Amino acid sequence: MQGMMEVTLYRVATGEIVGTGMASGCQAEFADAGKGIATIAGRWAATMYFVRDGTAVPRMAMAPSLSTQAVVADGEDACVISGLPDPCTVSITGSVALPPTEVAGGSLAITATVPGSIHLRVTAEPTHLPWETTLHAV
């Protein structure tokens, strides 16, 4: 089709990519402006990019540091994770469980009272790639 181009739709307030498709220049320019959705030219994957100031930019890798990979399951010994995006969302499964919870301040302390594996998943949408690690409570 003549005049059609690939576009990416994103939320203006957050830069989160919400879809891709084909549009004419006129459709792309006026996508859903009243609903906080705008477009940029090209097809950009939400898993790898977000939009800042009208430009697709790669999502950043998280590089948190852990004080330890193993904690004593006594409820007091802790693994401190620092260097997290502020804010971020943390989910924990395994011998310790926590539903998706927002964490502010860039750090988190994990303790355990039951031995086993503790799997952490950290997300900071849309600016960062997810980060995962496994701790051990002994």
pLDDT tens per residue across span 77-123: 999 999 999 999 999 999 999 999 999 999 999 999 999 999 999 99
Are 131 and 122 within 8 A, CB to CB? yes
Higher pLDDT, residue 2 or 65: 65
What confidence tier does 6 reach under pLDDT thresholds 50, 70, 90? very high
Q: How far apart are CA 60 and CA 81, in angstroms?
A: 18
Give the pairing type, strands 17-24 and 37-41: unpaired
Share of the chain above pLDDT 70, in %: 91
Mean pLDDT of the chain: 91
- Per the DSSP assignment, residues forming a β-bridge with 135 are 118
Q: Is the pLDDT of residue 33 over 60?
A: no
Q: Is the pLDDT of residue 2 over 80?
A: no
Q: How far apart are CA 80 and CA 17, in angstroms?
A: 32
Burial of 71 (0-12, 13-18, 19+ CB in 10 A): buried
Q: What is the pLDDT of residue 15?
A: 95
Task: Write the DSSP string, 92-111.
Answer: EEESS-EEEEEE-SSEEEE-
